[in-house]
Structure 1
Amino acid sequence: MPFTIASEVTFEEEIKKSRFQALAVPVANEQDVKDFLEMSKDVSTTHQCWAWKIGHNVRFNDDGEPSGTAGRPILATIEGNELSNILVLVNRWYGGVKLGTGGLVRAYGGCAGQCLLLAEKIELIEKKKVSFSCQFNEWAIFQYELNQQQIEFQQDYTATGVYVVALLQIHQIEPLSLKIQDVTRGREQLKMLEEPQHD
């Protein structure tokens, strides 16, 4: 059962005069990763190393540290905690004492690990993207239903009615599907939108 974290957490420590700061943040897709890294750019740091995991997709970056001493240990910590949809960034301000490759692995992995210990883990719920259409006079019923179940949705008003795209948890699919058939008297069906799901 994969987990993610509830909110952003930070942990800081000093190792042999170098200051390390880890930031862990939940992400839903690669755009979230890009936005966070862009926002977190800090020219005062010596290195900004990171790793992220979203579903089966993983990336990591050593940002100038010897290969395999920073990004990979951060990723190992993420995977060791069975986390997904998460980005961990570790900033380092060099303090003049070289740590050696083993020291760097321990520093980056350890700092990321301490940071993740502070995070509140929440179950990662898989969601599926679906769509359906309805007439204007039916929309209020569906809008109420979606809001009641706290389902994320977007609606587009067309010439003939309303086109809705929603993100559903697996257990919500069948009840909504039946509701659509019921309200539209079988005229409309819930459609699964098959696209690569990074959620």
Structure 2
Amino acid sequence: MPFTIASSVSFEEDIKKSRFQAIAVPVENEQAVKDFLEHSKDLSTTHQCWAWKIGHNVRFNDDGEPSGTAGRPILATIEGNDLTNVLVLVNRWYGGIKLGTGGLARAYGGAAGQCLLLAEKIELIEKKKISFKCQFNEWAIFQYELNLHQIEYSEEYTAEGVTVMALLQVHQIQPLALKLQDVTRGREQLKIIEEPEND
């Protein structure tokens, strides 16, 4: 069963006058990775190295550190903890003492590892994209339902009513489909949007 982390965590340590700060966050997709990295840009750092894993997809970046000394050890700690849908960013502020390639790999991997130890691991629950339509007067009922279960959704208003796209955990699909049939008296059906597998 794949696991991810419940929420973002961070860890800091000083190694030979360099400060290392690791931040681990759960991510749903590559856009979330881009948004987080963009938001975390820090010009005061010497290096911002990172790695992420979402499903079978992995990426890592040494950000100017010698090849293989930062991104790969960070990724190894994510995989070593059996985690997915996780991004770990390690910021380094250089303190004037070179650590050597082995020292760098230990420092980046170590900071990432300590950081992930602080995280609460949760079972990764599969989610599916769904869509449905309803009339304006029915939308409040569904909006209440989606908010109640903290379901991510977006709505689009058309001349005919409201078209809703949402991301549901697999076990939430059936109850919502029944609710939709009930409220719309069988007029509308819930559609599951199959996403192409990209391996």
TM range (shorter): 0.7 to 0.9
Match of 2:41 in 1: 41
Cα distance in 1 between the residues matched to 2:25 and 2:72:
17
Percent of residue pairs bearing the same amino acid type: 83
Match of 2:67 in 1: 67
- Runs of 4+ aligned structure 1 residues displaced above 4 Å come to none
Match of 1:3 in 2: 3
1:59-107 alpha-carbon deviations (Å, 9 max, x no partner):
1001111211110110010111122222111122223332222222111
Match of 1:88 in 2: 88
Cα distance in 2 between the residues matched to 1:22 and 1:185:
52
Q: Tell me the SS of whatever aligns to 1:115.
A: helix
TM-score (norm: length of structure 2): 0.88
Flag the 1:9–1:148 CA change in 2: closer, same or farther, 3 A.
closer
* 1:127 is the counterpart of 2:127: yes
1:146-165 alpha-carbon deviations (Å, 9 max, x no partner):
33333222222221122111
2:7 corresponds to which letter in structure 1? S
Cα distance in 1 between the residues matched to 2:13 and 2:84:
25
1:114 to partner: Cα distance: 0.7
Match of 2:156 in 1: 156
2:128 corresponds to which letter in structure 1? K
Cα distance in 2 between the residues matched to 1:196 and 1:113:
33
Match of 1:167 in 2: 167
Cα distance in 1 between the residues matched to 2:93 and 2:143:
51
Q: Tell me the SS of whatever aligns to 1:128.
A: strand
1:110 to partner: Cα distance: 0.6
Identify unmatched segments of 5+ residues in structure 1: none
Flag the 1:184–1:4 CA change in 2: closer, same or farther, 3 A.
same
1:10 to partner: Cα distance: 1.8
1:90-138 alpha-carbon deviations (Å, 9 max, x no partner):
1222233322222221111011101111122233222111011122333
Does the Cα contact within 8 Å between 1:128 and 1:197 map onto a contact in 2? no
> Structure 2 matches for 1:25-36, cutoff 5 A?
25-36=25-36
1:37-69 alpha-carbon deviations (Å, 9 max, x no partner):
223222332221111112222110011112111
| Number of residue pairs aligned between Structure 1 and Structure 2 | 198
RMSD, aligned CA:
2.1
